[in-house]
Amino acid sequence: MQNNESVNLVRDVEAYVVPIGTKVTLQKGETAHISQSLGGSYTVIVNGNMFRIDSQNADALGLEVAAKPQATGAPVTAESLEKEIWNQLKTCYDPEIPVNIVDLGLIYDCHLSALAENSYKAEVKMTLTAPGCGMGPVLAQDVQSKLISLEGVDDVNVELVWEPQWNQSMMTEAAKLQLGLL
């Protein structure tokens, strides 16, 4: 969701400078303008600079941290897990673009391999909209964190790749429509 809500930080919080990806600490009491709140992460403007705040730090914005799903203990099939993985990938967003990384065309491959019964490794190949984007490691960590939280996923490898080079034709029609490109 895009909004322009202003909040005062209720505690010091780690954030990443967008687009370079440098980790910084925003100070308690600073005013943050929330410009994007998608997939559990927050893009904020503080003193004219853009930052990304991870979901586990929502409380610093005075917001509720989302509860993690409880494990059911039920058997996990590769087919159901693959579907859930793609659903999770659709909850990862570029901090500057209000479209998930799947619809942006940034996920080139996702492969599951069995480690043991009800235990899988997810291997993801993804790219970025620009090779020099400093947010690559942040987005890759977001993917890894979201996938490792799934029941049945016990290992995740996220590889940033540059071939083929990303271009706008890789976006879904829904993404292009949302961004006003159709």
3-class state of residue 161 by DSSP: coil
Which string of b and e fits 23-41 if b means at least 16 CB within 10 Å? eeebeeeeebebbbbbbbb
The full set of domains in the chain, from first to last, is 2-61 (2.30.30), 78-178 (3.30.300.130)
Find the farthest-apart pair of alpha carbons in the chain and give their distance in angstroms, rounded. 51
Residue % of the chain over a pLDDT of 90: 80
- 128 Cβ neighbours under 8 A, 6+ residues apart: 106, 135, 136, 139, 160, 166
Query: How far is it, in rounded angstroms, from Cα 63 to Cα 133?
Result: 28
The pTM for the full model equals 0.85
Cβ–Cβ under 8 Å, residues 161 and 127: yes
Average model confidence (pLDDT) across the chain: 92
Query: How far is it, in rounded angstroms, from Cα 131 to Cα 162?
Result: 7
| Residues 39-96 pLDDT 10s | 889 999 999 999 999 999 999 999 988 766 666 666 788 899 999 999 999 999 988 8
Cβ–Cβ under 8 Å, residues 48 and 14: no
Which region among 16-20, 49-53, 73-77, 150-154 has the lowest average model confidence (pLDDT)?
A: 73-77
Beta strand residue intervals within the chain, DSSP E:
2-8, 13-17, 23-26, 31-38, 41-46, 49-53, 107-116, 119-126, 153-160
